[in-house]
Every structure is written in C-alpha cells, then in structure tokens.
Structure 1
C-alpha cells in the first residue's frame, strides 16, 4: 500500500487488521505484554485523559506504561524506560498539562514534553496522540517511512512534516460515511507494514504500488 493510495477500502482494510497485527507480533516476536499495553494506550489512556477536565495531565506511571507500549511495539531501548520511570510525578504532571493546553500548537506542545528526561519528539508524539488523535499521530517508524521515506530523523521539524502529511491524508480519506483521523492513518500504515514484513505474498495489494523500502529499522 503506497501512501499515495486514495482507495478508502484499502486503508480501511489495513486499519481493521491492526488488532490482529498486534496479536501476531506479540506471539511471533515474544512480546506477551504487547496486547495489554496496546489496550491501555489505545483505549484506556485516552479515556483517563478526557476525564481529567478542565486541566488534563499525565502521571509518571502512565508515561512509563506509554513508554513500554512504544518500545514494545517498536524497538526496545530500556534506558528510555528507566529515565521516564524515575521522573518526579509533579514534573510529569506539569509538563503534560502545559503540553495539552498548548494544542493545537503542535510545536509548542512537543517542546513542553521534551523537557522531560528520556522524552524526545517520538515519545512526545505518542503522548499527544493519546490525548488528541484527531490532530497528532504517533511518530512510528513504519508510518514515517511510508509518508516521508525516512524513519531515522526524529527531530521536531520532521515530526511537523509528518503531522501535516497525515492530517492531509486523513482529510482526503474522510467523507460523510467514513471518518479517518491522523492516528487512524498511522495505525493503518503500521498495520500494513507489519503484515507485509510477516507475510509478503498475502499482503501485496495488486491495486497499489508497494512501499519501495523493505528495510525498515524500528528505531524509536
């Protein structure tokens, strides 16, 4: 599935396969916690954040679980988990509260979060995506590779380009009957890439061009 593909059906199929990809990855890559971590990140955390009105915030424990999800779904880097797990709760609460209040200014929101040790733009994007999936997608390697052709640049500048591309794609795919968020686009791209790498033949869509690069390093 090429990023330029405009067939809504193809994108919906990739997105609908997301959960099965998570389950397959947890089994084939020996990541038994991935299913529960993904449930926390995709369903529980957004609900928790929405309930904290009028000033939503994140706790150190929640940030630690989010980091576990990010590293388990991508490349495991234990030092990052150690860094965020040792952060003072008041500091995490303050930084996340300021970041959420900064939206829709994505640049400012990322800047507020990256003052935290162990939190770069990629982790900041995961925090923001949990709070505002309609605005800010997670900066996954697979989606970065598909949208920008590069999954090695984790700068704020690159993330802002990524946000623009996925917002435009979500708008393109949405209609009265179908609604896509930038986060939906990211998960569809991730799902397709993971499915293709695990079973190349069954995931080759004859209607779309294949993603050119098959070498996709998960380096979050």
Structure 2
C-alpha cells in the first residue's frame, strides 16, 4: 500500500483483509488476542465512562497482542505484568482524560515500567481509535519511512500523518478513523511480506527440482 495513494477502494480492500492477514500469520493465540484488543477491550473501557481506566491484567493482555502481532520482547511483558493495579488505573485515567491531547496522554502512560510510546499508543487506540493510531512498525515504515525510533516526538509526527490520511480518505459514506489507516497499512505490509515469502519458497523448490533433474 502506497501511503500517498488517495484511492479509497484500495484502502478499504486493505482494511477489509485485516482479519485474513491476522489468520494467515498462523498464530492461533493472535486471533483471540486480536478479538480482545479490537472488540472486548474497547467495550470494557467505555463501560467505565466517565472515568475510564485499564487494569494491569488488561494491559498485560494488550502487551501480548502487541508483541504477538509484531516483535516478541518477553521482558516488556514481564515488566507490565508486575505493575501494581492502582498505578496502572491511575495513569490510564489521567491519559484518557488528557485526550485529544495525544502528547499529554502518552506522557501519562510512559511513567509505567515497560510502557513506551508504542505501547501507550496501543492503549490510547483501544479507547479512542478516532484520535490515536497504534504505532506499529509496518504503519510507521509506510507513513514516515522509519520504524526504528520509538520516541514520543516520532509518534507525534506519525500520528499527525495518520490523522491527516484518515481525514483525506473519509467521505459521507465511508468514515476512516486513524486506527483504520494503521490497520490497513499493517494488513497491506503483512500481505506483501507473505506473498514474497511464498514466491521465494516456490523459487527455492523449483531450483531444488531443477538440480535433481540435472543429477539424473
């Protein structure tokens, strides 16, 4: 997916293939974790209005989702799982209450050990997908050409671009949220990666067959 593209049809196609790509990664636990993150958790958070918060157990499960969908870093999960529930609730209440000021909201969450801007963005995206996109490597690479810098400054640059793209793609018939844009970019990147792996695997197999024939 070319981030510069304004073709709403292509973006919708990428977004609609998200669940297919989740399944194609062949990680059974990811399917249930993704359902938790995109469906169950948002409902839980909004049931707690007007003072929403996230619990340590929920944050730990969110971290599992983030690491399973991306790069596995077990130490982060250990840090988050050991956080005191009162601290997690207090920090997340302040963060959610700071929205739509994304910078302040992220700053309220990163005081928690193991929670950096990327994890903070996942928390915010679960509660306010129309404001804060998740800082995934795939979307970062597509939007700003860099997925190595996980600083707040970089996230704000990324979030602004994703928000602008969501606004550009939205019509009266089809509204795109920043989280929709992130998911479309992730889906497109994973699809392209799997296609490349499949092609390379096929070429290797053909090469093996060719060599076997030459030996006969």
- Tell whether the structures are fold-level matches, with TM greater than 0.5: yes
Asked if 1:98 corresponds to 2:131, the answer is: no
* Deviation digits for residues 38-77 of structure 1 (CA, Å, limit 9, x no counterpart): 0000010001001001100000000000000000000000
SS at match of 2:28: coil
User: Which of 149, 152, 159 is residue 156 of structure 1 equivalent to?
Assistant: 152
Aligned twin of 1:63: 59
Supply the distance in 2 between the matched residues of 1:110 and 1:152 (Cα, whole angstroms). Answer: 18
Greater relative contact order, per chain length (Cα 8 Å cut-off, separation 6+): 1
Which structure carries more helix by proportion?
A: 2
Aligned twin of 1:10: 10
| Unpaired runs of at least 5, structure 2 | 199-216
Structure 1 residues 116-195: aligned runs within 5 Å: 116-195=112-191
| Unpaired runs of at least 5, structure 1 | 203-220
Alpha-carbon distance, 1:17 to partner: 0.2
Alpha-carbon distance, 1:200 to partner: 3.8
Aligned twin of 2:107: 111
Alpha-carbon distance, 1:201 to partner: 9.9
* Deviation digits for residues 176-219 of structure 1 (CA, Å, limit 9, x no counterpart): 111100000000000000000001499xxxxxxxxxxxxxxxxx
Aligned twin of 1:80: 76
Supply the distance in 2 between the matched residues of 1:160 and 1:42 (Cα, whole angstroms). Answer: 22
**Count of aligned pairs:** 198
TM-score by length of 2: 0.90
TM-score by length of 1: 0.89
Aligned twin of 1:198: 194
Between structure 1 and structure 2, the one with the greater Rg is 2
Supply the distance in 1 between the matched residues of 2:49 and 2:145 (Cα, whole angstroms). Answer: 38
* Alignment RMSD: 1.1
SS at match of 1:199: helix
Q: Structure 1 residues 154, 108: closer, same or farther in 2, change over 3 A?
A: same
SS at match of 1:137: coil
